[in-house]
Amino acid sequence: MVVNGNLLVTITSTVGDGLIMTNAADEVIINGDAVFTHANNNDQATSVGNFTNGVLKFRGHFTQSNGTNSGTRPIFTATCTKVVFDGANNQNVHFSDVGAAFSRFQDLDIDNTAGVTFTTSAVASGTVTILNGIVTSTTGTVTIGDDLIDAVGGRWQALNITFSGPIVSLPATLMTNATFTGGGLLENGFNLTGNLSVAAGGRMEVNSHTVSNSGTRPIFTSTGTKVILDGPGIQNVSFSDPGPGFSRIHDLDIENATGVTFNTDAYITRQLTLGANAVLNQGAGEHLFYGADAGGGGRDLQCGQYACPWYDYHDRGSGNATNFE
Amino acid sequence: MGGDLLVTIADNVGDGLIMTDPSDNVTIEGDATFSHSNNNDQATSVGNFTDGLLKFRGQFTQTNGTNSGTRPIFASTGTRVVFDGTNNQNIHFSDSGPSFSRFQNLDIDNSAGVTFTTSAVASGTLTILNGTVTSTTGTVTIGDDLVDAVGGRWQALNTTFSGASVSLPATLTTNTTFTGVGLLENGFDLTGDLSVAASGNMAVNSHTVSASGDLGVTISDAVGDGLIMTNASDEVIIHGNATFTHASNNDQATS
């Protein structure tokens, strides 16, 4: 089912009313904004049991609201339905009745290059996977019951996060204040920009990994400014804090016929263009990541005549890694 | 620019930060605080820090919750702790003791220096790689060796050596007390007072020891405690006053 407008779901104290997604093949796409609420004075309203399977895709804002005269209620409670935010513009996520036993997501995918913003605390009792875009928040804490997956790293930038699961996989880098409240057996190490806490009754078991909070930062972050390398001599490029959520270049044109050398990983988040006489020299065997979204169907990597046989190019738009050797 | 670490434990055994594997490696760029919840008077981290490497680059504070006696809130029994910040780092324990909150092996690798602002215990070896170590109060107790290849960088006010076999730097500035078996592996030139506590030994073991301050040796009924000089090449030079006594009510004391 595709809804090109907005979605409003109002439940009452009658169990089983509302939007029901309980089959694996259920798929609902909401292109507008979605609001889940309950009727006034229906203080037993619950959606527990309504979202047990299928995929629910939101492409606008998500709001869980409530009626009057009620305590905190599970008004939008996914217990197995996967929720995906895959809009084209920044999407806000707002919960009025958030809690592990109240309104919450289960598994949650973020697939929006324009980003997703939590405007309240939120709970995802399962795994949160970032496929595209940066996740931020304006207040509160996002609690994740299982893993946080971000293959690129650095794209989780919500203010505060709590990991409540017994076994936790995290991205290699993340920018947030992280708290562990569950079993916290780490499946991998991570580099955190932010504070790290282990709450009373919680654990963080390092489990043969490396954990640091050395603070990778967006020191040079071009989000729209085009960078052109067109010097007359060899130009070197080095990033100490590279990452799609950290230091990065939006559009990069290389016009230097003498040569440009990347000495570290570098992220070009939209388009890398090699001019007609551009020369790309061998660096330190590092990787060049480019092209989150070329836009308009254009190619992320635009090459004229180039000499770049040594780099691994990771096309983040397609997910392909290409080695031109 | 790094963040802080806060670890709060409760009465549940095994909660908190767990480092039990040789390849565990944690680096904290900001300040680190280890505490326990109020009214959790059985809280312990014994067993949580048995292996791996824990680096602090900011201040270290072990504090506690209310309504509890002294507790092992940060108790490393095997995890090596390193202070390798770039600014001076303070170390503060509210529950210090060899059975309570303590380090095991401790490395100082901070050219800006490290300062103990309370008493502290390192039950293993304390190694100075870079920087000067000072204190503002209390005593630092070291269970094994104090290693300072350069010498002169240990400047804590008071130091107790409780180990059986002790290696010290060639020079150190501190008031030194021996409370263990204290068989010296080398001689040293001490700026400060030298003491051998009742039931403790300092066996000179063919080395040369000098102290700029006073010497105080207290023996007990235990035979063989006190200052031990039994080799021809033993040499002890005391520039201040020397006092030899025995502990109260130890009427069998003998040197």
Which of B1, B11, B13, B18 is most worth mutating to test chain A (most A CB atoms within 10 A of its CB)? B18
Residue B74 has phi, psi (to 5 degrees) of -125, 105
For residue B24, count CB atoms less than 10 angstroms from its CB and return exposed for 0-12, middle for 13-18, buried for 19 or more. buried
Question: Is the CB of A195 less than 8 angstroms away from the CB of B6?
Answer: yes
- Say whether both A127 and A28 belong to one domain: yes
Judgement on whether residues A56 and A137 belong to the same structural domain of the protein = yes
Share of chain B above pLDDT 90, in %: 91
Q: What is the pLDDT of residues A266-314, one digit of tens each?
A: 888 777 787 877 777 756 655 666 554 433 333 345 444 343 333 445 4
| DSSP label at residue A49 | T
Pick from B1, B26, B30: CB nearest A206: B26
| A27 in B contact zone (CB under 8 Å) | no
Query: Which of residues A168, A186, A212 is at a domain's end?
Result: A212
pLDDT 10s digits, B9-36: 999 889 999 999 999 999 999 999 999 9
In terms of residue numbers, what domain contains A183?
2-212
Taking CB atoms and an 8 Å cut-off, how many pairs form between chains A and B? 97
Rounded mean pLDDT, B110-123: 98
Lowest mean pLDDT among A178-187, A248-257, B88-97, B125-134: A248-257
Q: Between B40 and B76, where is the model more confident?
A: B76
**pLDDT more than 90, % of chain A:** 62
Residues A159 and A129 in one domain: yes
Q: Which of A177, A212, A247 is the last residue of a domain?
A: A212
Mean per-residue pLDDT for B188-192?
Answer: 98
The verdict on a CB contact (< 8 Å) between B26 and A211 is yes
Q: Which residue of B has its CA nearest to A194?
A: B3
Tell whether A244 and A183 lie within a shared domain: no
Is A220 part of a structural domain of the chain? no
Residue B121, judged by CB atoms within 10 A of its CB (0-12, 13-18, 19+), counts as buried
Burial of A121 (0-12, 13-18, 19+ CB in 10 A): middle
Collect all residues with Cβ–Cβ distance below 8 Å to A14 and sequence separation of at least 6. none
Closest residue on chain A to B65 (Cα): A200
Q: Is the ipTM of this complex over 0.90?
A: no
Q: Does one domain contain both A136 and A26?
A: yes
* Predicted local distance difference test score (pLDDT) of residue A287: 61
Please give the pLDDT value at position A297. 35
pTM for the full predicted model: 0.81
CB contact under 8 A, B25 and A210: yes
B18 interfaces chain A, CB cutoff of 8 Å: yes
* Domain final residue pick, A179, A212, A245: A212
Q: Residue A61 domain-assigned?
A: yes
Interface contact A210-B9, CB threshold 8 A = no
